Chain A
Amino acid sequence: MNPAETSCMISVDHVSKSFGELTVLKDISFRVKEGEVVVIIGPSGSGKSTILRCINGLEKATSGTITFEGVPVDSASHINEVRREVGMVFQRFNLFPNMSVIRNLMLAPMKVRKISREEARQRGMELLARVGLADKADARPAQLSGGQQQRVAIARALAMQPKALLFDEPTSALDPEMVHEVLDVMKDLARSGMTMVVVTHEMGFAREVANRVLFIDGGVVLEEGTPEEIFSHPKEERTRSFLASVL
């Protein structure tokens, strides 16, 4: 393995993905370095979410390789290894409704990391405080607003002390007035040096926080660059028309 590869945390190499006849990703390649925030933008159905789902093994790439810190996301045991280190935040939160907020945060650290109940609770409370929801520890997820649920979901992912976080359209299912509270938590995370891959339609967030922006359309990376390059000087006509339609 050459030095350039070891410095990158997530490496996606020539990945394609088809569902039957439908090709969703075509020969996608990109790298994410430690501490980097990469934002993926593009029209609906362009395959953005599928990339994230391939990175932590929720979908299996049809061809190509994905590695996390050199571990290929291929066999079941490798996938489990990667999932312990890579958290995921979903569009629809996917909190566990059958347990309290704090139990949502405690479950995986106790069962996977094997830490004690007390330690898990203490860490969980710290994380809830970090996302501004310490007072909701004993509430049920259903009692929270969408924005609060998504902040809990982020705290739950953080409870595993991941090295990287994947965000799959984290604000798309939220009422407009709740979007900023989730974005604020994400900005805070980015500033703290968390490695993040974010699929989003929030161009303001991409512009402010991203180190790099990938524009994906039709399953291929059409353009890649700094927010300045993509938003102010897009090279591709498709990028320009997409940005014109969303900004």
Chain B
Amino acid sequence: MSFDFSLVERALPLLLMGAAVTIEITAVSVAVGFLIGLVVGVARISQVKILRILAAVYADCIRGTPLLVQIFLIYFALPMVTGHRIEPFAAAVMACGINSGAYVSEIFRAGIQSIDPGQMEAGRSLGLSWGQTMVYVILPQAVRNILPPLGNEFIAMLKDSSLVSVIGFEELTRRGQLIIAQTYGSFEIWLTVAALYLMMTLAISRLVAFLERRTK
């Protein structure tokens, strides 16, 4: 078979727009996931038992079910409960953010637990509260350890965001599907889509490596 370059050329602007949407949804989802992960990660090691239990249940439920099913639950099942239709973008960000939050909470928990317990003791012995010691002493140190796994989570999220194509949200993968439906150029388009994902993930991993060197 022959590779139709002109097809790639014509499709590229549309695919690039899809790639931009993919980056957008990934960035917003990771930001949401970061906030959820921070709160849940700290809750997992808090001194309040009920918080620890709730946080563990959340992390286990989300990590133990497929993201695709979570997307369906939020886009199709949730409106049946609330009675309000949900926009594809909102559903996508919600599903990806909540999903990412569970993984990021594990990253925060591990990052916090990697800090010498003597740091918390020193803070407490000075009269600082648990929360104050966490905010001023532990988390600033933990964030440095957290950066590499957080970068990996960003990359994983970027790839997993292709799943939201199933609810018709027009990110990179969905754009590819739509173009193929018109042109039948499966081979050219999927290869281009894959190349675009690869370029984005490589760029992010280089960026993370750069940031890691700077914070050392």
Q: Which residues of A contact B (CB under 8 A)?
A: 56-58, 80, 83-84, 86-88, 90, 92, 94-98, 107-108, 111-112, 156-157, 160
Establish whether residues B127 and A98, one from each chain, have CB atoms under 8 Å apart when the complex forms.
no
Establish whether residues A98 and B118, one from each chain, have CB atoms under 8 Å apart when the complex forms.
no
Residues in chain B near residue A56, CB distance under 8 A:
125
- Among listed B73-81, B133-141, B173-181, interface-contacting one: B133-141
Residues in chain B near residue A95, CB distance under 8 A:
122
Establish whether residues B125 and A107, one from each chain, have CB atoms under 8 Å apart when the complex forms.
no
Give 20 A-B pairs besides A80-B127, A96-B123 with Cβ atoms closer than 8 angstroms: A57-B124, A58-B121, A58-B125, A83-B125, A84-B127, A86-B125, A88-B125, A90-B122, A94-B118, A94-B121, A94-B122, A96-B137, A98-B137, A107-B126, A107-B137, A108-B123, A108-B126, A108-B128, A111-B132, A156-B126
How far, in angstroms, from A225 to B132 measured CA to CA in the complex? 41
How far, in angstroms, from A83 to B132 measured CA to CA in the complex? 14
- Kindly identify which residue among B123, B126, B128, B129 contacts A157, using a CB–CB cutoff of 8 Å: B126
Interface residues of B in 45-87 (CB under 8 A from A): none
Establish whether residues B122 and A83, one from each chain, have CB atoms under 8 Å apart when the complex forms.
no
Establish whether residues A112 and B126, one from each chain, have CB atoms under 8 Å apart when the complex forms.
yes
Question: What distance in Å separates the Cβ of B82 from its nearest Cβ neighbour in chain A?
Answer: 40
Per-position contact with A for B123-165: 1 when CB-CB < 8 Å, else 0?
A: 1111111001000110011000000000000000000000000
Question: What distance in Å separates the Cβ of B128 from its nearest Cβ neighbour in chain A?
Answer: 6
B9 at the interface (CB under 8 A from A): no
Q: 9 nearest interchain CB pairs? A: A94-B122, A108-B126, A88-B125, A84-B127, A94-B118, A112-B127, A98-B140, A83-B127, A98-B141
- Enumerate 24 A-B pairs (CB-CB under 8 Å) in ascending A order: A57-B124, A58-B121, A58-B125, A80-B127, A80-B129, A83-B125, A83-B127, A87-B126, A88-B121, A88-B122, A88-B125, A90-B122, A94-B118, A94-B119, A97-B141, A98-B140, A107-B126, A107-B136, A107-B137, A108-B128, A111-B128, A112-B126, A112-B127, A160-B126
Closest to B141 in A: A98
Question: What distance in Å separates the Cβ of A242 from its nearest Cβ neighbour in chain B?
Answer: 28
How far, in angstroms, from A107 to B137 measured CA to CA in the complex? 10
Establish whether residues B118 and A92, one from each chain, have CB atoms under 8 Å apart when the complex forms.
yes
Establish whether residues A112 and B128, one from each chain, have CB atoms under 8 Å apart when the complex forms.
yes
How far, in angstroms, from A92 to B119 measured CA to CA in the complex? 10
Question: What distance in Å separates the Cβ of A132 from its nearest Cβ neighbour in chain B?
Answer: 22
How far, in angstroms, from A87 to B122 measured CA to CA in the complex? 9
How far, in angstroms, from A88 to B127 measured CA to CA in the complex? 10
How far, in angstroms, from A107 to B122 measured CA to CA in the complex? 12
How far, in angstroms, from A143 to B163 measured CA to CA in the complex? 49
Closest to A53 in B: B121
How far, in angstroms, from A98 to B139 measured CA to CA in the complex? 10
Establish whether residues B125 and A96, one from each chain, have CB atoms under 8 Å apart when the complex forms.
no
Residues in chain B near residue A156, CB distance under 8 A:
126
Question: What distance in Å separates the Cβ of A41 from its nearest Cβ neighbour in chain B?
Answer: 22
Residues in chain B near residue A98, CB distance under 8 A:
137, 140-141
How far, in angstroms, from A88 to B140 measured CA to CA in the complex? 23
Residues in chain A near residue B122, CB distance under 8 A:
88, 90, 94-96
Interface residues of B in 107-129 (CB under 8 A from A): 116, 118-119, 121-129
How far, in angstroms, from A57 to B121 measured CA to CA in the complex? 10
Establish whether residues B119 and A90, one from each chain, have CB atoms under 8 Å apart when the complex forms.
no
Question: What distance in Å separates the Cβ of B134 from its nearest Cβ neighbour in chain A?
Answer: 12
Question: What distance in Å separates the Cβ of A94 from its nearest Cβ neighbour in chain B?
Answer: 4
How far, in angstroms, from A98 to B116 measured CA to CA in the complex? 13
Residues in chain B near residue A111, CB distance under 8 A:
128, 132, 136
Question: What distance in Å separates the Cβ of A79 from its nearest Cβ neighbour in chain B?
Answer: 9
Question: What distance in Å separates the Cβ of B51 from its nearest Cβ neighbour in chain A?
Answer: 16
- Kindly identify which residue among B121, B125, B140 contacts A87, using a CB–CB cutoff of 8 Å: B125
How far, in angstroms, from A121 to B119 measured CA to CA in the complex? 22
How far, in angstroms, from A96 to B132 measured CA to CA in the complex? 13
How far, in angstroms, from A88 to B123 measured CA to CA in the complex? 10
